[in-house]
Structure 1
Amino acid sequence: MITLEFITVIVFIFIGARIGGIGIGLAGGAGVIFLSLVLGMPTSQSLIPIDVILIIMSVITAIAAMQVAGGLDWLVQLAENFLRKNPKRITFYAPIVTYFMTIFAGTGHTAFSTLPVIAEVAKEQGIRPSRPLSISVIASQVAITASPISAAVVFFSGILEPVGVSYLTLLSICIPSTFIACMIGAFVANKMGCELKDDPVYNERLKKGLIKMRGVTKRELPASAKPATCIFMLAIICVIIYAAAISSSVGLIQDPTLGRNEAIMAIMLTAAAAIVVFTKIDASKIANAPTFISGMTACICVLGVAWLGSTFVSNHVVGIKEVAGAVLIDYPWTLAIILFLASMLLYSQGATTVALMPAALAIGVAPLTAIASFAAVSALFVLPTYPTLLAAVEMDDTGSTRIGKFVFNHPFLIPGVSTIASSVILGFFFGGMIL
């Protein structure tokens, strides 16, 4: 019976992946119906990652308000100025930009706005655009596991606190390990492929006149751009300070009336309100902002997939512990492989974290192992169907960022695997020193 139930979970995840986009969440809901009504597996509302969904909604609302006010355009302008001042090292500087934009925003979708700049600067310098584009997309994904306001980090820190690992401790391990790993990935990406001038696809497109130089993009920024961004940054600082103040390691606030998750939601909604009030933007436009739409899509994906996975795991946690517990304890690095393979299908760091991390801790995986393996939930680049990956392919009119006929032979795979493997190793290193 457990085999049939497991196959059911995989089949519905596969169906969702084939549909694409929000489809994986929709298929997850259908899978829950099949498990419960057809196979008789009990489920409940407690298995739904409500806090994760609410945090995504709150953070995305604040980001969307900032975007409507022009804040994201200002950040992109700053990024473009930085990259154009250091064009020769764009393969190393571009992932720094996308990494910290994701850290700041809590979503990797901020990379969309910087990809055209990265492709253009690389092309102007005669650098193969696939190099900076590939590692930039990967950095925007891996940085989710180091962002103080990402749903994955907030949920993971919540289940780590009962075993003695605080929110700040998690960030102090994840931020340096993922950032250094991205720089290692950039080094690997910088060696990938032939030089642009030697690429036959590029030369053919050049002869056909299909390659255009756009130059510096001039953006007319509204007066509201900078104040909106400052309000959002202040909100992030408030989240970190409050989380530190109520943590057991700092203990400035005893028995807080507002929990950390609730504080994140309240602070982000307040930030959105402040942006609307002080910048006088039209609040009705927030719901139509691209970041808001992508964030709500993420909510449905997390709801469906995490509910499906949690339903299966919660009903078989004892059996899973018997089968997998000994292996994970003897070979802790295998958790990273499990998370890597799961995130390939789930297309969400938050969904993968919610579905598997509680089970991993429940069967006796050490907190150090779980934290070190955390970056492996970011293997969204393996199948070349993730939105930011496809956007990078579309932005590169040189043809260097292309997907091969064997699907997996694309420029994101090797730098991505190198980055995640490096982050796991560094996670064990930094975690061993801090924990």
Structure 2
Amino acid sequence: MKNNIYLLSAIALVVCFVAYLFGFLDLAIVLVAIFLGVRLGGIAIGYTGGIGIIALGIFCGLKPGEIPTSVILIIMSVIAAISAMQLAGGLDYLVHIAEKILRKNPKKINYLAPSITYFLTILAGTGHTAFSMIPVIVEVAKEQNIKPKAPLSLAVVSSQIAITASPVSAAVVYLSGVLEGFGYSYLTLLCVWIGSTYLACMLSAFLVTKFSNLDLSSDEYYQELLKKGEIVKKESAKKEIIKGAKESVAIFIIGVLAVVCYATYISGLKADEIIISRDSAIMCVMLSIATLIVLTTKINTSKIIDTSVFKSGMNACVCVLGVAWLGDTYVSAHSAEIKEYAKNLVEQYQFLLAFAFFFASMLLYSQAATAKAIVPSVVVALALNENPENAKIIIASFAAVSALFVLPTYPTLLGAVGMDDTKTTRIGKYVFNHSFFIPGVLMIVLSVALGFLFVRFI
């Protein structure tokens, strides 16, 4: 590990020196900070964002950009509510229902697995809920002689892309707030995003099922493991549904519906008529939901911070803080050039915005951080104040901020690889040739294409 750190440091210094000679030191610092964070893994991508900001200030004279406060606070409030629901047994109850659906229709696992993780994410606003479904998907796939990599890859990617359609995700709340000022209502945006992304998930499932070799028994490596006795049938751990679990889920669903209804209501109001903004409303409602769950189920609040959802959520907050702040620092310093360049490109080739979203999210590791870093420049570049019709390009391309699967280091992706004991879900030696790449790219391409089709009707 120590040798790796020394090597990474040496490479970073060389890259920065070369960049200095050619006049793009600030961009090199940003990329090196992100690369170092990705290599260190997990929460470290947020840590290295801080180093990047300091380096930009010392060596390039750039002032720190805007801290993505609203995005972080929304994530914190939503995670607070989901953590309370998890401690009350609500997530176990949802997984229990999902498992029953899978086991009742095992042959349709390639469609049901991504559907379940998609709608769990829609409800919860975080893709980390997919963790709980991974062991179930593996066992049901094995029982049907289906390579687990097919349903697992579809399920993991659909849980990421569903963030761009969840009414309580920070990414959706942020972008809908931006676009609302140009005449696009919250409910209309949700309809476009849910319709395009879910249909893309199902089309991707169809294509993977149709053109992939799903026969588990034909996998040579699996057969070797089977002979060695390393593949063991696991009985799914049946968790007892504790008292209050159903109530916690009901309270949470009511809260989500309240957010959607309120956000839809204020979409038609003028700014001076809105007492509580959308961001404030979602935070208030989520904290209120958490309170009601605690009061109703009598859970021990001191244990909430020990839940897996709370830990992953706070991890996400630090990552968004470091990466989005770093990105805004660079973008703000070069906003004029970026706006002009983006305007010329997007005006000629509308689909290029999706490419920008795709590659940025691949590095920034967050749908919300990507939207926050790129959208303000694009709004100006497309002159939305004069041409609000151009906002349809952003709406249609939004799903492309979900390219978190490209680098095989995202937690749910690694979890799927680790929990698949058949080893059909793999990360190749060339990094990008892993089991999630093709289904993921396919899902994003279809989502964007359908998005451009759907926006014609709004």
Q: State the TM-score bracket (shorter-chain normalisation).
A: over 0.9
Residue 204 of structure 1: how far off its partner (Å): 0.5
Q: 1:193: Cα distance to partner?
A: 3.8
Q: Distance in 2 between matches of 1:296 and 1:282?
A: 20
Aligned partner (choices 23, 39, 52) of residue 71 of structure 2? 52
**Correspondence for 2:239 among 219, 222, 235:** 219
Matched, 1:413 2:437: yes
User: What's the counterpart of residue 208 of structure 1?
Assistant: 228
In the alignment, structure 1 residue 32 sits paired with structure 2 residue 53 = yes
Question: Are the counterparts in 2 of residues 321 and 363 from structure 1 also a CA contact under 8 Å?
Answer: yes
Greater Cα offset, 268-277 or 161-170: 161-170
Q: Does 1:109 align with 2:124?
A: no
Q: State yes or no: 1:257 paired with 2:278.
A: no
Q: Say yes or no: does 1:3 pair with 2:3.
A: no
Unaligned runs of 5+ in 1: none
- Secondary structure of 1:379's match? helix
Alignment of 1:94-173 (within 5 A): 94-173=113-192
**CA offset digits 1:4-57 (Å, max 9, x no partner):** 21121111111111111111111111111111233111235xx11111000000
Query: Could you tell me how far apart the structure 2 residues matched to 1:297 and 1:217 are?
Result: 27
How far off its partner does 1:212 sit? 1.4
User: 1:374 is matched with which residue: 385, 398, 419?
Assistant: 398
- The CA deviation at 1:323 is 2.3
Q: Aligned AA for 2:406? A: V
Matched letter for residue 355 of structure 1: A
Residues 120-177 of structure 1, C-alpha deviations (whole Å, 9 max, x = no match): 1010111111110000000000000000000000111111122222222211110000
> Using the alignment, how far apart are the partners of 2:63 and 2:90 within structure 1?
46
Distance 2:270 2:430 in 1: 56
Count of equivalent residues: 430
Q: In the alignment, is residue 338 of structure 1 matched against residue 324 of structure 2?
A: no
**Structure 2 vs 1, CA of residues 34 and 253 (structure 1 numbering), >3 Å: closer, same or farther?**
closer
- Separation (CA, whole Å) in 2 of partners of 1:411 and 1:188: 15
Asked if the contact 1:6/1:312 (under 8 Å) is kept, the reply is yes
1:103, 1:148 within 8 Å by CA — same for their partners in 2?
yes
CA distance in 1, matches of 2:64, 2:270: 39
The 1:194–1:110 alpha-carbon spacing in structure 2 relative to 1, beyond 3 Å, is closer
Which residue is 2:368 aligned to?
Answer: 350
Shift of 1:252: 11
- Stretches of structure 2 lacking an aligned partner (at least 5 in a row): 1-19, 384-389
Check whether the contact 1:245–1:253 (CA below 8 A) recurs between aligned residues. no
Q: 1:18 aligns with which of 39, 52, 64?
A: 39
Q: Taking structure 1 as reference, are residues 216 and 22 closer, same or farther at Cα in structure 2, changes over 3 Å only?
A: closer
2:305 touches 2:311 (CA, 8 Å); kept in 1?
A: yes
Q: Aligned partners of 2:370, 2:432: CA distance in 1, in Å?
A: 21
CA contact (8 A) 1:132 1:189 kept: no
Q: 1:230 aligns with which of 247, 250, 259?
A: 250
Q: Distance in 1 between matches of 2:42 and 2:452?
A: 33
CA–CA distance in 1 between the matches of 2:308 and 2:238? 21
Relative to the length of structure 2, the TM-score reads 0.91
Secondary structure at the aligned position of 2:275 is classed as: coil
Provide the residue aligned with 2:218 in structure 1: 198
Q: Cα offset for 1:209?
A: 0.9
Give the superposition deviation at 1:189. Answer: 2.4
- Alignment partner, residue 402 of structure 1: 426
Task: Give the whole-Å Cα distance in 1 for the aligned partners of 2:403 and 2:348.
Answer: 24
Cα distance in structure 2, aligned partners of 1:252 and 1:70: 41
Q: Distance in 2 between matches of 1:254 and 1:300?
A: 33
Question: Deviations 1:343-371 (Å, cap 9, x if unpaired)?
Answer: 11111111111111111112117211111
Identical-pair percentage: 55
TM-aligned CA distance change 1:101 to 1:194, over 3 Å: closer
Letter in 2 for 1:62: A
1:198 positional shift: 0.6
The offset of 1:89, in angstroms, is: 0.7
CA contact (8 A) 1:112 1:391 kept: yes
Deviation larger for 216-225 or 178-187: 216-225
Cα distance between partner residues in 1 of 2:434 and 2:380: 37
* Equivalence for 2:264: 244
8 A Cα contact 2:146 2:214, kept in partner: no
Confirm whether residue 273 of structure 1 aligns to residue 291 of structure 2.
yes
TM-score (norm 1): 0.96
Counterpart of 1:386 in structure 2 is: 410
SS at structure 1 position matched to 2:31: helix
Q: Any conservation in 1 of the 2:64–2:329 contact (CA below 8 Å)?
A: yes
1:208 offset after TM fit, Å?
Answer: 0.8
* Residue type at the aligned position of 1:162: G
Deviation string 1:301-335 (CA, Å, 9 cap, x unpaired) is 11111111111111211111222321111101011
Q: Is the 8 A contact 1:317 1:363 kept in 2?
A: no
Contact preservation (8 Å) 1:55, 1:261: yes
Instruction: Look up the match of 2:386.
Output: none
